[in-house]
A = this chain, B = another copy of it.
Amino acid sequence: MLRFKTTFVILTALYLGLSGCSKEIDTQTNNPLPSWNDGSAKQSIINFVNEVTDENNPNFVKPADRIATFDNDGTLWSEQRYYFQLFFAIDRVKALAPEHPEWKTEQPFKAVLENDMETLISFGEHGLIQLVAATHSGMTTEEFEQIVNDWINIAKHPRFNRPFNELVYQPMLEVLNYLRANGFKTFIVSGGGIEFMRPWVNDVYGIPSEQVVGSLGKVKFEMRDGKPVLIKLPGIDFIDDKEGKPIAIHRFIGKRPIAAFGNSDGDLQMLQWTAAGDGARFMMYVHHTDAEREWAYDRDSHIGRLDKGLDEAIEKGWTVIDMKNDWKVIYPFEIKK
């Protein structure tokens, strides 16, 4: 019997190692969220996962319906004052400026070229859309993908002097892995451009391109020398923010999430939509409370404002992460010396 057991363990281990089917086993580890301090936020995630994966629990959810959606900016990676995509647009304006002498006198381009961020921000959402329209169009989708890849490999955040995709939250990476190990399918549902995220999110978050939902620029199908291409046009077809998030979830996924993670009022409708389904539900807000290690902002912030959402989260008992106290580390590089 002992021999039988030993053989079983060895062979199962061998089989698991070869087949990539080890996920179900990982779920049994005792500390799936090592970068989280013990507390109600961490416990609420674990309780939820235990509940929906236990076949004997009335709130058991079959794996096909274990859909979890994550905002990106401020929820999976940092944003503060500016979306990281704005840094990309700014770098593109500077790279393209020699071809556009008119930008020296034309706003919001002039502000970008003069590094005048205060003026740039004063143009608000409309200014951002102008920058995106000018820098995210006029090439094929494949060319744009290459541009994003080049940028993400070279550009660095001014405060941390690190690539932007290193400024992702280690505790949230653990949540993504923990949910997937428990049979969840994890989706990004972000206001960011879908084509800006897809080139790098699989490597960083383990989320494949077909599980990335975002804002959509206009594209045109065209034959060039007998070869079909998709050309990026200046217009925007869909903004995946606020009411747009439940609509995009309905269109892209076609199932109501049972768990949703956000950080701002732009995520509120996604969390409301998730909360309105039957059975166990999990809604979480990342509350930016750590001015030292990251940033502290909520009700007064222009970008990533958390105001109505914070009230509703408190009123309805959704989980609000206190970044300063709930997270042992913020970024992966803090532990990967």
Show the binding face of A for B, using Cβ within 8 Å: 4, 7-8, 11-12, 15, 19, 21, 24, 64, 67, 141, 185, 194-195, 198, 202, 208-212, 216, 219-221, 223, 227-228, 230, 243, 246-247, 250-255, 269, 272-273, 276
> Once the chains are docked, how many angstroms separate the CA of A252 from the CA of B276?
25
> Once the chains are docked, how many angstroms separate the CA of A276 from the CA of B221?
13
From the candidates B195, B230, B255, B269, name the one contacting A209 in the complex (CB within 8 A).
B255
Answer whether A269 and B221 are a contact pair too, CB < 8 Å, given A228-B276, A250-B141. Answer: yes
From the candidates B12, B24, B198, B252, name the one contacting A210 in the complex (CB within 8 A).
B252
From the candidates B15, B21, B221, B250, name the one contacting A246 in the complex (CB within 8 A).
B221
* Pairs across A and B, CB under 8 Å, 5 listed: A11-B11, A64-B202, A141-B250, A210-B255, A228-B269
CB atoms of A252 and B250 under 8 A apart: no
* A312 CB → nearest B CB, Å: 11
CB atoms of B216 and A251 under 8 A apart: yes
Binding site secondary structure of chain A? helix
* A45 CB → nearest B CB, Å: 23
CB atoms of A228 and B273 under 8 A apart: yes
CB atoms of A210 and B276 under 8 A apart: no
> Once the chains are docked, how many angstroms separate the CA of A67 from the CA of B7?
38
From the candidates B21, B210, B216, name the one contacting A21 in the complex (CB within 8 A).
B21
Which of A195, A220, A246 has most B Cβ within 10 Å?
A246
Which of A202, A209, A216 has most B Cβ within 10 Å?
A209
Answer whether A209 and B7 are a contact pair too, CB < 8 Å, given A15-B15, A272-B228. Answer: no
Closest to A64 in B: B208
Residues of B within 8 A of A7 (CB): 4, 7-8, 11
CB atoms of A251 and B15 under 8 A apart: no
Residues of B within 8 A of A255 (CB): 209-210
Residues of B within 8 A of A198 (CB): 254
CB atoms of A212 and B254 under 8 A apart: yes
